[in-house]
Structure 1
Amino acid sequence: MTAQAHVPSLLSRTGAVSVLTLAAVGGTMLAPGATPDAHAATHAVKAMKVAASKKGSPYSWGATGPYRFDCSGLTLYSFKRVGKKLPRTAQQQYNKTRHISRSHRRKGDLVFFHYGNSIYHVGIYAGRGKIWHSPKTGSKVRLERIWSRSVWYGRVK
C-alpha cells in the first residue's frame, strides 16, 4: 500500500478527532441528537455572574431579590435573569435539576447541602470548590468555600 492510500483514512480519523476535540473544549459543533450542553453551560455561567453581582446583598428569609435574598431566592433570581425558570425552594430546585457527580460539576451548577435526604441549603458553583450563596440571617451574599462533604450537584436544564 502506498502512502497516498493512507491519506483518506488518516484525514477521516483526523476529522473525527477534531470534532471530538472541539466538543471536549466547549465548541458549539454538536452531533445530530446531542444535547446542547455548551448552551446550557453559557446560561449557568451567566447565572453565576448574576449571583456574584449581588455580593453584599443582605440575607432575608423568603426573599427573592433584587436587593435581599435567601439561599434559594438567590439561585431562583440568578437563573431567572438569564431566562431559566426554577421552583422556589432548595428542595424543589434539587428535584428539578439534572443530578450530576462531583467530578462533572461545572461553574454555574447548583450545589445542594443535605442532611440525609433533606436539602437545607443551595448555592451556585463558582469553581475551585467555592459557591456564591446567601447563607443565613445576619449575613450577606458572598463567595465561600464548600464546607461540607454532604453536598449533591444539579445542572439546570
Structure 2
Amino acid sequence: MHIPALATRAAITATATAAAALVGVLPALNGVAAPTAAPTAAPAAAPEPAVTPAAPVNSPATVELPVETVALSRPSAVGARAVSHAMSKLGAPYRWGATGPNAFDCSGLVSWAYKNAGVSLPRNSRAMSRVGRPVAKSDLRPGDLVFFYRPVSHVGIYIGGGKVVNAVNSRTPVKVSNINAMPFNGARRI
C-alpha cells in the first residue's frame, strides 16, 4: 500500500475522532449539558483534558479542522456513528454491487455504515435520495447523505469541512472527496 495514502487515512481518522470528541464538549462550553456516556465499572479518576490532540501539532500527518466548522456542524448520534463506520473503511476496494465489509460500491458503503449505526436504508442511491428529510447544501452536518448527478447515481456521507466519504469507482478505493468534485444533486438527513 502507498505510504502517503496510509498517512492521509490516519490523519483523516484522527481528525474525525478529534472532531467527534470536540463536538461532545462544545455543548458544555455553551452552557448546555453535554451528552453523558453510560457509567462504567472503573473507579472515578482525576478529570482529563476535554480534547487531546491525536498527533503532535508539528506532525506532517496532522490535519486541523477549524473549530467554527465543528461548532456549526454537530452531527446526530446516528450520523456520527455512520461517519465513523464509513471512515473505518478508507482504502477498501470499490466493487460494483458490493455491500461490505471488505469491498463496496457507493450505496453499499452508505447502507453498510448506517446499518452498523442501527439504521436500515434502501440499497441504491436513487432510493436513498427519497428517505429522511431534505437538507440544503449550506446546512449540511456530518452524517447527512449527499447525492450527485442528475438523475441521482452516486451517494456519499458528508463528514464536515466540505468533504464526503464515498466509494467512487473501480479505479479508486473508498476515499474522502471534496463535495464540489462532482455535480451536487441534493442531500438528506436521516
TM-score w.r.t. length of structure 1: 0.72
Superposition deviation, residue 151 in structure 1? 2.8
Superposition deviation, residue 96 in structure 1? 1.3
Q: Which structure shows the higher strand fraction? A: 1
Q: After superposition, what is the alpha-carbon deviation per residue over 1:62-88, rounded to whole angstroms, capped at 9, x for unaligned?
A: 000000000000000000001001000
In the alignment, the residues of structure 2 paired with residue 22 and residue 72 of structure 1 have an alpha-carbon distance, to the nearest angstrom, of 39
1:153 corresponds to which residue? 187
- AA partner of residue 188 (structure 2): G
Give the match's secondary structure for 1:45.
helix
- AA partner of residue 53 (structure 1): S
Q: Aligned Cα RMSD in Å? A: 1.8
TM-score w.r.t. length of structure 2: 0.60
1:140 corresponds to which residue? 173
- AA partner of residue 90 (structure 1): S
Structure number with larger C-alpha Rg: 1
- AA partner of residue 185 (structure 2): V
Q: Are the equivalent residues in 1 in contact too, given 2:149–2:182 (CA < 8 A)?
A: no
Q: Are the equivalent residues in 1 in contact too, given 2:81–2:117 (CA < 8 A)?
A: yes
2:55 corresponds to which residue? none
RCO higher in 1 or 2 (8 Å CA, sep ≥ 6)? 1
Distance 1:62 1:104, change over 3 A: same
Give the match's secondary structure for 1:122.
strand
2:122 corresponds to which residue? 87
Q: Which runs of 5 or more structure 1 residues have no equivalent in the other structure? A: 1-20, 29-39
1:110 aligns with 2:145: yes
Matches within 5 A, 1:65-84: 65-84=100-119
In the alignment, the residues of structure 2 paired with residue 122 and residue 59 of structure 1 have an alpha-carbon distance, to the nearest angstrom, of 14
Give the match's secondary structure for 1:119.
coil
In the alignment, the residues of structure 1 paired with residue 77 and residue 185 of structure 2 have an alpha-carbon distance, to the nearest angstrom, of 23
Matches within 5 A, 1:38-49: 41-49=76-84
Aligned residues: 121
Once the two structures are aligned, what percentage of the paired residues are identical?
Answer: 36
Distance 1:149 1:139, change over 3 A: closer
Superposition deviation, residue 59 in structure 1? 0.3
Q: Which runs of 5 or more structure 2 residues have no equivalent in the other structure? A: 1-29, 36-74
Give the match's secondary structure for 2:171.
coil
Give the match's secondary structure for 1:50.
helix
In the alignment, the residues of structure 2 paired with residue 132 and residue 98 of structure 1 have an alpha-carbon distance, to the nearest angstrom, of 20
Q: After superposition, what is the alpha-carbon deviation per residue over 1:55-114, rounded to whole angstroms, capped at 9, x for unaligned?
A: 110000000000000000000000000100100000011111211111221001011002
Give the match's secondary structure for 2:130.
helix
1:60 aligns with 2:95: yes
Q: Are the equivalent residues in 2 in contact too, given 1:114–1:152 (CA < 8 A)?
A: no
